Amino acid sequence: MPSIKSKHLIRIQDLTNDEIYAVLENAATFKEINERPIKKLPTLRGRTIINLFLEPSTRTRSSFELAEKRLSADSLNFSASSSATVKGESLLDTAETFDAMKVDMVVARHKYGGYCNILADHMDAKIVNGGDGIHQHPTQTLLDLFTIYEHFGRIEGLTVGIVGDIYHSRVAGSLAPALASLGATPIFIAPPAYQPDVPEELGAQVAYTLDEVLPELDVVNLLRIQGERAQGLYVPSLREYSALYGMNSHRMNNLMKKDAIILHPGPMNRGVEVTAEVIADPRMLVLDQVNAGVAVRMAVMYMMLGGDGDVE
Amino acid sequence: MPDTVKASLMNEQDVSRSLMRISHEILEANGGAEGLAIVGIVTRGDIIAHQVAENIQKIEGSAVPVGTLDISLYRDDVATKISPVLHRTDLPFNVDDTTVVLVDDVLFTGRTIRAALDAIMDYGRPNAIQLAVLVDRGHRELPIRADYVGKNVPSSYGEKVMVRLKPVDEVTDVRIIAADPTESDAAGDALPPEIDAITGE
C-alpha cells in the first residue's frame, strides 16, 4: 500500500485522516533534519520536479524549492514572466509541454481554481497544488495542522477561529474541511461580505463578531486582508476592519485564552489584521509555520514519490 | 498464513551472552571505551546498542554515548518502497573524531549498512566506523563485513531470520522462518488469478 494513495494532492480531501497524521509524524523527522548542519538527503535523487508558479509567491515557492533541494530532487522553476503563457500559450499546451519533458511532479500555483485538475487530466506527472485561485492550498493546511499538533499534541477537540476574508481564501478552503474531518471545530469569523456562500459545505460554523467567540478559541488563524481590493468593496474601511477584527494586544491579553496560539499564513499586513505587539508575542507562531512548511513539504514529496510503504 | 518456524537459533540467555562477548571484544579492539560511541539502527539495532552500552558501562565503569539512526531516507530503493513512518535519528554526541560502533540485529545484503554509513557521514567525519551485529546470515550484495558478530547463521535467501527483542517484542530470541511459498519466485511465475478463472482450475 503506498503511503499516500491519491496520485495527486490537489484538495486536502485527497488525503485520509490517517495519511494526514502520517505526514505530520514524518514531518517531525524532517524538521529535525532541517536543524542539522548538513541538511541534504539523497532520498529523491534523480527525480525531477517542476515548480510552476503562475501567480506571485515568495514563501510557498521557496519553501517547496528548499524541500526539493534538501531531498536531492532536481527542480526547475517557472514563473508567469518566464513561461510561455505570457506569449499566449494555453494551459493545456503548457501541461503537455512539461509532460513531454518527463517530469515526476509538478507543483503548481495559478489564479484560477481548478488549474491543477486541468494539469492532472493532461499529464502523467503527479500534481501538488501550491494554491489555486480561491479554491485550496493543501500544503499550507498541512503546515498549519503540524504547528497546531506540535503545540497541543492533538487536533481533535480544538476550536479554531479563521478570521478575515474567508470568501477569497484558499487557506480557509483547505483548512476548514481538514479540521472538521479531524474532529476539531472550525469557525469562520468575518463580516457577512467576507463569509463564503455555503460555509457548512466546508464543515465550518459562522460568527460575525470576533470579541464574542475569541474566549472560546484554542487557535486564532488570521488571514491576510488584501487592502487594495478590500477597501470600499467588502469593508467600509481598513481602519474599521482593524478595529472590529484585527488582533491587537487588548484582544490577545484580555479576551483570548491564555494558552491559545495565533497563526497567520503570511504575508502579514501589520496594523490591519494584526498589530506589531501581537507579532512580537511568543503565542504568535508565524515563524514556526514557515519552519514547518519546509518539513511538511519534504514529507509530502517523500511519501508521494517514494514507493509502497511496506518496509519492515 | 502463520509463519512457519524452521529453527530456533538463540534464546534470551544466548543473546545476552553474545552481546556481553561483543561488548568485551569492542573494548579489547579499541583499547577501552575512550572515544567510542554506539549507534543502533532502528528499531531493533537500537535496543541492542543500548544493551551493549550498558555492558560497557558495567565492564569499564565509564558511560559511552548511544545514538539511534533511521536509515529510511538513505535507502537505495526509495523508488519502490518506503517506510510508512520515519523514526527519529538522534546522535547526542559530536561524530567528528569519534569511533562509531554501528549496531544492527541482522546483517544480510549489506544495503542497510551502506545507507547507515552515508547517514553517519552526513553528521560529520568519524575516526572510524565499526560494525557489530547479533546475527550474520550471509548473502551479501555489497563488500561489507561485520567486525563483531554474535552468531553466524547459514540461511537460504528466501528464508527470514527473525530477531525478537524485549521490550518491543514479547520475548527475546532468534529464529529462522521458512520461506513463504506465496512470495517465492515460483509463485511469481504462477498464472495471475484472472487467468486461473478462465481455465477454470
pLDDT tens-digit series, residues A73-117: 999 998 877 666 667 778 788 888 888 999 999 999 998 999 999
pLDDT top residue among A195 and A37: A195
Beta strands in B76-184 (DSSP E): 99-107, 128-136, 148-152, 160-164, 173-177
The letter for the amino acid at A202 is: L
CA distance A52 to A22: 26
Length of chain A equals 312
Q: What is the mean pLDDT of chain A?
A: 92
- Name the fold adopted by B5-199: Rossmann fold (3.40.50)
Which pLDDT tens digit goes with each residue over A14-62? 999 999 999 999 999 999 989 888 888 999 999 999 999 988 888 899 9
Q: Which residue is catalytic, options A11, A47, A48, A60?
A: A60
Would you call B78 and A29 a contact, using CB atoms and an 8 Å cutoff? no
Residue B178 DSSP class: P
CA distance B84 to chain A (A): 5
Closest CB to A42 among B74, B80, B85: B74
Per residue, what are the HEC states of chain A?
Answer: CECCCCCCECCHHHCCHHHHHHHHHHHHHHHHHCCCCCCCCCCCCCCEEEEEECCCCCHHHHHHHHHHHHCCCEEEEEECCCCHHHHCCCHHHHHHHHHHCCCCEEEEEECCCCHHHHHHHHCCCEEEEEEECCCECHHHHHHHHHHHHHHHCCCCCCEEEEECCCCCCHHHHHHHHHHHHCCCEEEEECCHHHCCCCHHHHCCEEECCHHHHHHHCCEEEECCCCHHHHECCCECCHHHHHHHHCECHHHHHHHCCCCCEEECCCCCCECCCECHHHHCCCCECHHHHHHHHHHHHHHHHHHHHCCECCCC
Q: Which residue is catalytic, options A47, A61, A70, A109?
A: A109
Residue A110 is a catalytic residue: no
Would you call B81 and A3 a contact, using CB atoms and an 8 Å cutoff? no
Residue A251 is a catalytic residue: no
CA distance A70 to A164: 34
Would you call A309 and B89 a contact, using CB atoms and an 8 Å cutoff? no
Residue (of A302, A310, A300) closest to A43 by Cα position: A302
Q: In what order do the strands lie in the sheet with A261-263?
A: A205-207, A185-189, A159-163, A219-222, A261-263
Would you call A311 and B75 a contact, using CB atoms and an 8 Å cutoff? yes
Would you call B78 and A40 a contact, using CB atoms and an 8 Å cutoff? no
Among A29, A302, A308, most B C-beta atoms within 10 A, so best to mutate, is A29
Q: In what order do the strands lie in the sheet with B5-10?
A: B5-10, B173-177, B160-164
Residue A102 is a catalytic residue: no
Could you report the predicted ipTM of this complex, rounded to two decimals? 0.75
CA distance B77 to A43: 9
Residue A59 is a catalytic residue: yes
CA distance B22 to A140: 49
Cα nearest neighbour of A38 on chain B: B122
CA distance B80 to A45: 13
Provide the grid cell at A60. 510557498
Residue B73 DSSP class: G
Other C-beta atoms closer than 10 Å to the C-beta of B151 total 16
Q: Which residues pair with B38 in a beta bridge?
A: B66, B101
Would you call A29 and B81 a contact, using CB atoms and an 8 Å cutoff? no
Task: Report, as an integer, the average pLDDT of A169-198.
Answer: 96
CA distance A273 to A263: 12
Domains of chain A: residue spans and CATH: 12-136+292-305 (3.40.50.1370), 138-289 (3.40.50.1370)
CA distance B173 to B88: 26
Is the pLDDT at A286 greater than 90, yes or no? yes
Residue (of B69, B125, B123, B120) closest to B98 by Cα position: B125
In chain B, where are the structural domains located?
Answer: 5-199
Cβ-Cβ contacts under 8 Å, A44 against chain B: 78
- What pLDDT is stored for residue B196 in this prediction? 36
- What pLDDT is stored for residue A13 in this prediction? 97
- What pLDDT is stored for residue A229 in this prediction? 66
Q: Cell numbers 572510524 correspond to what residue?
A: B128
Which pLDDT tens digit goes with each residue over A123-164? 999 999 999 999 999 999 999 999 999 999 999 999 999 999
- What pLDDT is stored for residue A84 in this prediction? 67
From first to last of its 201 residues, what are the pLDDT tens digits of chain B? 567 888 899 999 999 999 999 999 999 999 999 999 999 999 899 999 999 999 999 999 999 999 999 999 998 888 787 777 888 888 999 999 999 999 999 999 999 999 999 999 989 999 999 999 999 999 999 999 999 999 999 899 989 999 999 999 999 999 999 887 665 444 333 333 333 333 333
Q: Is the dihedral of CA A161, A140, A70, A286 positive or negative?
A: negative
CA distance A305 to chain B (A): 7
Q: Which residue is catalytic, options A59, A122, A257, A283?
A: A59
